[in-house]
Structure formats: structure tokens, C-alpha cells
Amino acid sequence: MQFQDYLAGKDDEWFDVLDDYRHTLAHRIPLYIPPFVVMMDDEAAYTALGERKLKALVSGDVPEHERLATEQKALETFRPWMQHSFHEEARPLVIHPQLLANFNTIEEMGRKLLEELDR
């Protein structure tokens, strides 16, 4: 009975997010972690550099293309985020902290269950 009370007191949002990601990842959308992100403040500069890179390449100016590619790459940042859908208002999660939080929550639940089984 104490375990039921413990579960009833848990935050339903954690279970909802877990359910949402589990069902989506298991049945519809494979997990994808983008290789980089561009911060919104840098988006216009990133796009402009891409256009300039293309013009340099088309004109045969390989050194300029490489210089612009290096400048553009400097605006890229790795963020281990995941989001199962951009169309379903899913909220992004940062993978590493979320995995640690999930592990801690599951471990806590397991310990509470073992205590209940010992009663």
C-alpha cells in the first residue's frame, strides 16, 4: 500500500513525457541526434555564409569556399538534444541530463518496490 501511495505522489508529467517518447520512438520515429545546431541569433549569418560558399564554388574559387566553410562551421555547436517531432509540439530534451534523471527516478522506484516486497 505504501508503494501505491508513493507512485500516486509521483509527478504525472514525468510518466507522460516518458510515455510520449517511448511510444513515438518505439513505433514511429527513430531517434535522431543532429550533428550540430545553429543558434537562432546566428541563423541569418549561417545562411548567408552558405550562399556565399555556393557562389565561390560555382565561380571556381576553392580557397574562398574553404575559408567560408571554416567561418560557417564556427557557428555550429553540438547539443545532444532530441525531439521526436517538430509537428506535434513535442518538447526537446537534452539527452544526457534526461538519461541521468530517468535512471535516478527508476532506481528510486525500484528501491521503493523492494521495500514493499520486503513488507
Name the H helices within the chain: 2-9, 12-27, 43-58, 62-73, 95-118
pTM of the model: 0.57
pLDDT value at residue 68? 98
Q: Specify the pLDDT at position 67.
A: 97
pLDDT at 114: 92
State the Cα–Cα distance between residues 29 and 26, nearest whole angstrom: 7
Q: What is the predicted pLDDT for the residue at 66?
A: 97
What confidence score (pLDDT) does residue 105 get?
A: 87
Domain parsing of the chain, residue ranges: 1-33+81-119, 35-78
